[in-house]
Every structure is written in C-alpha cells, then in structure tokens.
C-alpha cells in the first residue's frame, strides 16, 4: 500500500507538470530530448489537456486516500507528511518551480518518502532514516538539475526561475558538483558514525560515471544534443548509486 501510494502521488506530479508546462507554452517551445522537454503527449495531440489534468487529480486523490488510511492507523506524523505531499504536488509546477525551489522540493520529497515509508514499517523515526532520505533526495535533485539545462530558454521565456536560470548555464555547471558532493558526504558520514552499514561503500564505484557526466556538461552546457550524454550518465548514476545503497543494507541482513 505504501508503494502504491507513492506511485500514485509521483504519477500525479508528473501528469500535472506535463499539463502546466503545456498550458504555459513551455513544452511547445522547448526542444525535446529523450531526457527532457516533457513527454510530448500534449504537444503531439495524443491526449487532451483536460484528460491529463483530471488523471493528475485522480492520482493525487488515490495517493491521498491511501495516505489517509495510514494516518488513521499510524497517527499525526504520517498526516503531516501527507499534507506536505499533497500541497507540494499540486503547487509544484506553478508556485514551487517558479520560485526556484524545485531542487529543494525534490530533496525534501525524497527525504519524506523514505521517512514516511520507514515510519509506517517501524513506527519510529531515527537519524538513519533521515540521512538515507537526504541521500536519495539529493540523487533525485541532481537529475532534475541537469535536465533543466535544455529547457533553459523556454523556461526563462515563460517566467520560470529554475536554479539553472538563476545561476546562468556556465556557472550552473560548477553547481552540478555540489549535488553528488553532498550526497557522498552524507553517505560517508553515515558509514563513519556507523549509521549506515559498511557495505554501502559499494555506492562509490559509480563515481567515474558522475565525473564523466560533469565533464561532458562543462563542454556541452549550451548544446542541447550534446547535453544528452551528460543527462544520460547522470540519470544512470542516480539510479545505480541508489540501487547500490539499498543493496548495502540488504547485505547486512
């Protein structure tokens, strides 16, 4: 049920993001790639905007109902997490992204998913769950950050204030390194203080992939097609690193 609720809420934010990006004319101006620019469903006329919006609201309601069940059996902590999720999902594609806080939201979202899931299973919150959530959240935020490079012109023209727009593309290539640096700082600190199992060190084997992505970004930050390999490497880095992190815990069982 927890997984179903998370999937429903995540589906909602994706659908509503597609809807608002189309309504604001962002997805009709940006050059779409495999990793950025929306799904293309609405610009290509495969679905009507009202259908996508309604689907987003339906998934939001489904996620909210599943979360409400856990509020009843597990209490106010889940209620607070659920309230944050519902409000932030609904306003993500308008208020949150426009304020330049998208990366912060995604980090907090990742943390809340881990905390909420852990609390449902154990009825407690500890430092391990918080740090694991931040680690996962930073990996997700990194993906959002790099995939906003190709949308720079369209986002800026329509009034969005993403972190890449705020910094400028060239300066943002330096900011790119902050995300894996924070993530790995959390990981290593957790291992040093025995909050995370030693096996989680296997997450470090993917470092060459993020170095490759960062160097490619530095060379191609203003070339949309040239950005595709950098985005691909970053997405793979995020997925593999997160998976290895989980495996590190499983190996201690």
In sequence order, the 6+-apart residues with CB closer than 8 A to the CB of 4 are: 66
What pLDDT score does 205 carry? 97
Q: Taking a C-beta distance cutoff of 8 angstroms, is the pair 197, 252 a contact?
A: yes
Structure tokens at 234: 């970053």
What pLDDT score does 34 carry? 87
What pLDDT score does 35 carry? 87
What pLDDT score does 130 carry? 97
pLDDT of 94 > 90? The answer is no
- CA-CA-CA-CA torsion sign (40, 162, 207, 193): negative
Residue 124 — left, alpha, or beta (φ > 0 → left; ψ -120 to 50 → alpha)?
Answer: beta
What pLDDT score does 200 carry? 98
Run of H or E residues at 218: helix 207-220
Q: Per-residue b/e over 78-93, b at no fewer than 16 CB within 10 Å?
A: beebbeebbebbbebb
Tell me the per-residue pLDDT of 179-193, one tens digit each, with 9 for 90 and over. Answer: 999 999 999 999 999
Tell me the per-residue pLDDT of 113-171, one tens digit each, with 9 for 90 and over. Answer: 999 999 999 999 999 999 999 999 999 999 999 999 999 999 999 888 889 999 999 99
Tell me the pTM: 0.93
Percent share of the chain, pLDDT over 70: 100
pLDDT of 172 > 90? The answer is yes
Provide mean pLDDT across the span 220-238. 96
Tell me the per-residue pLDDT of 14-50, one tens digit each, with 9 for 90 and over. Answer: 999 999 999 999 988 888 898 898 889 999 999 999 9
The one-character DSSP state at 1 is -
What pLDDT score does 252 carry? 92
- CA angle at residue 114 from 113 to 116, to 5 degrees? 65
Query: Looking at 30-34, 86-90, 106-110, 174-178, which range is the least confident one?
Result: 30-34
Which residue has better confidence, 38 or 220? 220
What pLDDT score does 128 carry? 97
- What distance in Å separates the CA atoms of residue 168 and residue 165, rounded to the nearest whole number? 5
- CA angle at residue 149 from 146 to 153, to 5 degrees? 160
């Amino acid at each position: 049920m927890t997984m179903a609720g998370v999937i429903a809420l995540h589906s909602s934010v994706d659908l509503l993001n597609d809807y608002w990006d189309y309504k604001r004319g962002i997805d009709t101006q940006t050059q779409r790639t495999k990793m950025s620019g929306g799904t293309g469903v609405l610009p290509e006329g495969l679905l009507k905007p009202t259908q996508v919006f309604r689907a987003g609201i339906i998934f939001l309601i489904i996620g909210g109902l599943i979360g409400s069940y856990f509020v009843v059996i597990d209490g106010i902590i889940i209620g607070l997490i659920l309230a944050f999720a519902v409000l932030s999902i609904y306003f993500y594609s308008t208020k949150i992204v426009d304020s330049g806080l998208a990366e912060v939201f995604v980090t907090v979202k990742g943390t809340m998913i881990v905390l909420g899931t852990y609390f449902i299973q154990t009825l407690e919150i500890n430092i391990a769950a918080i740090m694991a959530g931040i680690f996962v959240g930073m990996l997700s935020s990194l993906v959002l950050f790099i995939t906003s490079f190709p949308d720079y012109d369209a986002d800026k023209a329509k009034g969005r204030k993403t972190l890449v727009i705020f910094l400028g593309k060239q300066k943002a290539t330096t900011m790119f390194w902050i995300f894996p640096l924070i993530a790995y700082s959390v990981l290593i600190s957790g291992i040093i203080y025995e909050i995370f199992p030693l096996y989680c060190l296997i997450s470090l084997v993917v470092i060459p992939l993020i170095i490759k992505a960062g160097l490619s970004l530095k060379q191609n930050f203003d070339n949309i097609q040239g950005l595709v390999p950098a985005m691909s490497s970053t997405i793979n880095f995020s997925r593999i690193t997160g998976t290895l992190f989980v495996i590190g815990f499983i190996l201690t069982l």
